[in-house]
Amino acid sequence: MSRKTLVDFPTFRLTRLNRGETRDGLTTFEFEGEFDRIIKPVAEITWFWLLIGERHAVCVQWKSFGEDTRAATVVAHEKELPEMSGKTLYYLSPGWDPVNVWMVLDKQWGWQHVRFQAVDAVAETYQAKDVSMVDGREVKTWTKLQRADKHTSTERYAPAAEQASLSSGAQQVIPGGWDHEHCQLCRGHIDHGDFGYRDQDELWMCESCYNKYVKSHDLSFVDEL
């Protein structure tokens, strides 16, 4: 597959922007316009991203769309919108986050090639309100894991062991418990001792995705992964 750039993304031509009521600090904005190709909701997912210019984005929800046309009306709930005058609006599917696009395109993103080292983690066991099915068994007791050094606010959740050693709400430091990171693109593990690429916000990318996409600023991962 050839290299993909932002200009290859579907675009939305805004013809009318309506400002609605403000409630709880958020204003309702209604976008009317037309895509340059037919875009329809993905399965039961009712939202997607509109990338605005080079570093802004807004999350919008489908309100209506033409069955046989590219016309659509979408709605956003924001404190305020970024400047949109003269900007191209690009469609990004809900499976991705705008930062995934920016981190690949920006030549000054500041990636560092480093070896991942496990750090201590803080584990907390808690009871969920509802029962979830995980691998065929009912789970209501979960363990939340966070980095002990608080370099990021990322949290991970897993079903608690059947013989959980922590009472609900209690915390325990697990030496080396934060033993992997996830690649921002393929979501693969970067385990203790593995090399990868890290940015200043502690976001990680595996060597394979970095070499394949970042080096050439290729956005084809949106279709491939």
Specify the CATH number for the domain of residue 33: 2.40.30
Cα 66 to Cα 9, 35, 72, 113, 184: the distances in Å are: 20, 11, 6, 47, 34
Give domain status of residue 156, yes or no: yes
Based on the domain organization, do 53 and 153 belong to the same domain?
A: no
Q: Which structural domain range is residue 68 located in?
A: 6-95
Give domain status of residue 1, yes or no: no
Q: How far is the first Cα of the chain from the last one, in angstroms, to the nearest whole number? A: 13
Give domain status of residue 21, yes or no: yes
Number of domains in the chain: 3
- Residue 163: pLDDT over 50: no
Give domain status of residue 189, yes or no: yes
Report helix, strand or coil for 99. Answer: helix
DSSP 101: H
Report helix, strand or coil for 221. Answer: helix
Q: How confident is the model at residue 165 (pLDDT cuts 50, 70, 90)?
A: low
Compute how many other C-beta atoms are within 10 angstroms of the C-beta atom of residue 124: 17
Q: How confident is the model at residue 69 (pLDDT cuts 50, 70, 90)?
A: confident
Mean pLDDT of the chain: 91
Q: How far is CA 19 from the centre of its chain?
A: 27
Integer Cα distance of 21 and 189 in angstroms: 44
Q: How confident is the model at residue 49 (pLDDT cuts 50, 70, 90)?
A: very high
**Cβ(6)–Cβ(105) below 8 Å:** yes
- Residue 55: pLDDT over 70: yes
Residue 124: both structure tokens together: 């907390």
Residues 49-73: b if buried by 16+ CB within 10 A, e if exposed: bbbbeeeebbbbebeebeeeebebb
Residue 8: both structure tokens together: 């290859």
